[in-house]
Amino acid sequence: MSEDKIGWHGTTILGVRKNGRVVVAGDGQVSLGQTVIKPNARKVRRLGDGSVIGGFAGATADAFTLFERLERKLEQHNGALMRAAVELAKDWRTDKFLRNLEAMMIVADRDVTLILTGNGDVLEPASGVAAIGSGGNFALSAATAIFEYEEDSETIARKAMKIAADVCVYTNENLTVETIETL
């Protein structure tokens, strides 16, 4: 199989909002085909003045381009995440260059958690849980099952990411976790 048919895999990003805290956690694995290329990638970071956290799934260079664009939108809209995300989604959907970017993002601030996609989607999960990436469905299922029984959002995220890493071959336990107090 040629390299262009193999494809990059290896991201699980999870957002959990509960009891006055929002957490975004991401694993560190990057794989090419069946090979782990990097076990400690940092896919979660603080944006702007640090009041927004985000994690990405997809092509790394594309995700960093989107992070930079989102930071500019946050500056333009005085840190209003929802407004900045909607404006980014409009650009992402209509701009010829951005339209070709292959990434998704989970972003969160004190007020809202959002999933951003290249289709122009700005999705706010109905529950306090959002997930994307190769192991996203595993992490989402685990966090949803734990959510009712565990009070701490970071504990929920860490336990769910551990379960995702146990099930998804493209996810590892090398986590980056960022937290914002929402109260």
Catalytic residues: 11
- Residue pair 84/77 in contact by the 8 Å Cβ criterion: yes
Helices (H), the chain: 3-6, 60-76, 81-94, 96-99, 136-147, 153-167
φ/ψ of 129, rounded to 5, equals -130, 135
CB proximity list for 161: less than 8 A, separation 6 or greater? 12, 14, 25, 27, 139, 171, 173, 175
Residue 120 tokens read as 């122009």
